[in-house]
Chain A
Amino acid sequence: MKSSARQTTPVKIKIAGLNLWYGDNHAVKGIDMAIPANRITALIGPSGCGKSSFLRCINRMNDLIDHVRIDGQVIVDGKNIYDNDVDEIAVRKRIGMVFQQPNPFPKSIYENITYAPLKHGQVRKGRESDALVEASLSSAGLWNEVKDKLHSPGTSLSGGQQQRLCIARAIAVSPDIILMDEPSSALDPISTEKIESLMLELRENYTIVIVTHNMQQAHRTADYTAYFHLGELVEYDETKKLFMNPGQQLTEDYITGRFG
């Protein structure tokens, strides 16, 4: 039961009949969804509703967990990423991810950024990677704060800075899509605000899908919002419409705080 969002922009990710089981636990149930390009799409819903599991299907992070079974299609730019001829490494290269807890590597800020692009052969050491570090950190709004200590460890930054470093690290691989799994739930309000305004800037160049517990966050940042309940997609619409005039009783109960 859902009303599909009226799309005014081209579709970036088309999800069709997606199911996911952890062993016998049917965690994601038959999701059909079209995620528009260069927009922020928020996934909300109570804990255990399958929104994070769903998010991890989009860059095949669930492949790594034992006893997980997935069927259905996730079509990105016209290609199902679960097709046999698709390499999950190539998928994750194009679809970046930012996690709930900031997780910089125990390396320098500089190396945090350049690690993956160097291994992917996207840049060479020296001037190219210097430029990449500056560009990525600037996009993540972190350049001015860290430009004088690029070689100190990434873990020496504050929590909010670490999370922006993680975003810069994801951007450095030049993905088209960035998935964010509750990116600010571990941060203070000021850092959260910085992350949110960063997301709005990044929307220009990236398709962003964010899982959040925080309905205000979805309201403030997302163009479209999807409400998940018990593994099902209950409602998916423009954020404004979903919050002002939810089409489903379940959605209304959730956003008015009757449960959560």
Chain B
Amino acid sequence: MKKSKKFNSERLMVLVLAMASAISILTTVGILFSILFQAIEFFQLKSFWYFITGTEWSPGQMDSRFGALPIFAGTFMITIIALTIAIPAGIGSAIYMSEYASPRWRNILKPLLEVLAGIPTVVYGFFAALTIAPAIVSFAELLGLDAAYNSALACGLVMGVMIIPVISSLSDDVLRAVPDSQRNASLALGMTHSETIRHIVVPSAMPGIISASLLGLSKAIGETMIVVMAAGLRPNLSWNPLEDMTTVTVRIVDALVGDHAFDSPDTLSAFSLGLVLFVITLILNMISLAQIRKFKTRYKISSL
């Protein structure tokens, strides 16, 4: 009798544990549905087609229009600027740490990059608005150009620096996971150190580097505080990075911080933008995970 009681409490315990792990699924489902339902409500009020292709975003008016194209364009612009900084610098840093730095130096550099990764984004946002943006305005003036105080360039630059450690950390892990026998083989053929890195090590680690870059891209698209503090509110369809632009996340915050009724299209528009954000980042994460799996199976690595 005693034994079966023990057995039952055992099963109960496992059941409780299983339920706890269901929370993570519930969270994803919760995010998806809380966004999806409100977004559907929004699209019952406003045209989905215009949302995707329209160029005028004018909430809070009698005849408010919700064309998100300029918002997507702004997000795209700032993301591109950020990645132009972050991908080369992130990969370069990773190469330095994994291939050139002595173990002692690496032990110093890696924590320093982690400091950069640990800085809250609100801090980056303040720095972008207080220091970088005015510097860009002055610099543009020197060149005879006109820059806005909330230019896409300022946000993009700071966001790029924020993403460097995201890319460098994972890339460094992946580069170091490339077996030394590969490096030796290339060096013994009379290749220089840098040729070995460029032609052998980096191509081998490429799936991991792609994964890291996609993760950086996803981070850039979803980043909120930097753009809320340093980017504009004005939906602006332009190619000039010195102009102010707005992003998906900025408009989500703007729509939800104001005092609108919860079921007004103004508020609901935040969820439709959120849906776009969710779908895009989900796809990016999926590709990123698939890439890293490819790398792991290539070298039969279980950690990372």
Contact = CB atoms under 8 A, between A and B. Distances in A.
Bind each other: yes
B189 interface: yes
A116 B184 contact: no
B190 A92 contact: yes
Interface string B178-197: 01011011111111110100
A101 B181 contact: yes
B189 A115 contact: yes
Contact of A92 (B102, B179, B189): B189
Interface in A95-117: 96-97, 99, 101, 103-107, 115-116
B187 A61 contact: yes
B298 A119 contact: no
Counting chain B residues whose Cβ lies within 8 A of the other chain, the interface size class is 20 to 34
Interface of A: 59, 61, 64, 66, 89-94, 96-97, 99, 101, 103-107, 115-116, 119-120, 166, 169-170, 173
26 contacts: A59-B188, A61-B184, A66-B103, A92-B188, A92-B190, A96-B188, A96-B189, A99-B188, A103-B181, A103-B182, A103-B185, A104-B185, A105-B186, A105-B204, A106-B203, A106-B204, A115-B199, A119-B191, A120-B190, A166-B185, A169-B185, A169-B189, A170-B188, A170-B189, A173-B189, A173-B190
A94 B192 CA distance: 14
Nearest to B181: A103
A169 B203 CA distance: 19
- Best-buried of B179, B199, B204 by chain A (most CB within 10 Å): B199
Interface string B154-193: 0000000000000000000000000101101111111111
A222 to B, nearest CB: 21
A104 B204 CA distance: 12
A116 B191 contact: yes
A97 B186 contact: no
B277 interface: no
A164 to B, nearest CB: 14
A103 B184 contact: yes
Contacts of A64: 187, 193
Given A103-B181, A103-B182, A89 B204 contact: no
